[in-house]
Amino acid sequence: MANRHISDQTDTLHVFTRDGLEATYYVLPRRDLLASVAVRDPRWLRYGSPTIGSSGAAVEAAFGPPAQRASGGAGPGLTYTCRRAAGPDEPVVFLMDSGVVREVVFLYYVD
């Protein structure tokens, strides 16, 4: 994909998939940078609740009101902001189907 800062540079993205888990990362000369992790199976989540299959109400009961509610794109979802000590916030998105969590996406800042 095209680099957003250097117009004549192409970045390489790799996607690692395993049953119910998908990690996307940038491949760089000296290191790789994790861009996102999508969890579609509850066994990959450390804490039991809320998890894949939980209701949106259970997510809000655990984390409070979301920073954003989405209804388009990848589907309806609840976005929560994870604050960092330095640098920009990193969102966690609970994607929903009929009011039930179908996927949890962790987005990491990459620049």
Tell me, what's the pLDDT at 9? Answer: 66
Handedness of CA 50, 53, 56, 58 (dihedral sign): negative
pLDDT at residue 70, rounded to an integer: 80
Please tell me the predicted confidence (pLDDT) of residue 1: 65
- Single-letter amino acid, residue 110: V
Rounded Cα distance between 109 and 87, Å, is: 8
**pLDDT in the model for residue 40:** 96
Query: Where residue 4 falls among pLDDT bands split at 50, 70, 90?
Result: low
pLDDT at 64: 94
Average pLDDT, the chain: 86
Q: Are 84 and 71 in contact (CB under 8 A)?
A: no
Instruction: Give the pLDDT band (50/70/90) at residue 58.
Output: very high
- Give the tens place of pLDDT for each residue, 79-90: 999 887 777 888
Q: Please give the Cα distance from 89 to 69 (Å, whole number).
A: 17
Q: Which pLDDT score is estimated for 18?
A: 95
pLDDT tops 90 at residue 75? no
